[in-house]
Amino acid sequence: MVNPQVVRWLWAAEAAVIRYGHVTEAQVLAQIAQESGGDPTATSAAGAQGLMQIMPATGRGLGLEDPFDPLQNVMAGVHYMAQAMEQFGTWQLALAAYNAGPGAVEIAGNQVPDIAQTRSYVSDIEAMLPDYSGYIRDASPLPTLREGGVGDSVRLLQRMLGMVVQDQDGIYGPQTLGAVLSAKHESGLPVNGVVADGLWSYLLWKGVRP
Domain stops at, among 98, 115, 138: 138
Query: Are the C-beta atoms of residues 94 and 31 closer than 8 Å to each other?
Result: no
Q: Taking the CA atoms of the chain, what radius of gyration do you get in angstroms?
A: 17
Domain that residue 125 falls in: 4-138
Q: Is the pLDDT of residue 171 over 90?
A: no
Reported as a single tens digit per residue, the pLDDT across 191-203 is 554 445 555 555 5
Higher-scoring residue by pLDDT: 5, 114: 114
Where is average pLDDT lowest: 8-12, 97-101, 126-130, 205-209? 205-209
Same domain assignment for residues 125 and 160:
no
pLDDT given for residue 116 in this prediction: 97
Same domain assignment for residues 67 and 24:
yes
Reported as a single tens digit per residue, the pLDDT across 20-33 is 889 999 999 999 99
Query: Are the C-beta atoms of residues 70 and 50 closer than 8 Å to each other?
Result: yes
Domain stops at, among 88, 117, 138: 138
Reported as a single tens digit per residue, the pLDDT across 112-160 is 999 999 999 999 999 999 999 998 887 654 445 554 444 444 555 555 5
Same domain assignment for residues 90 and 169:
no
Where is average pLDDT lowest: 59-63, 148-152, 159-163? 148-152
Same domain assignment for residues 114 and 157:
no
Which residue among the candidates 35, 65, 86, 126 is catalytic per the annotation? 35
Asked whether residue 145 is domain-assigned, the answer is no
Q: Does residue 104 sit in helix, strand or coil?
A: helix
Where is average pLDDT lowest: 24-28, 43-47, 56-60, 153-157? 153-157
The Cβ of residue 66 has, within 10 Å, a number of other Cβ atoms equal to 14
Q: Is the pLDDT of residue 100 over 60?
A: yes
Domain stops at, among 103, 138, 173: 138
Asked whether residue 191 is domain-assigned, the answer is yes
35 is catalytic: yes
Higher-scoring residue by pLDDT: 18, 165: 18
Average the pLDDT over 5-20 and give the result: 81
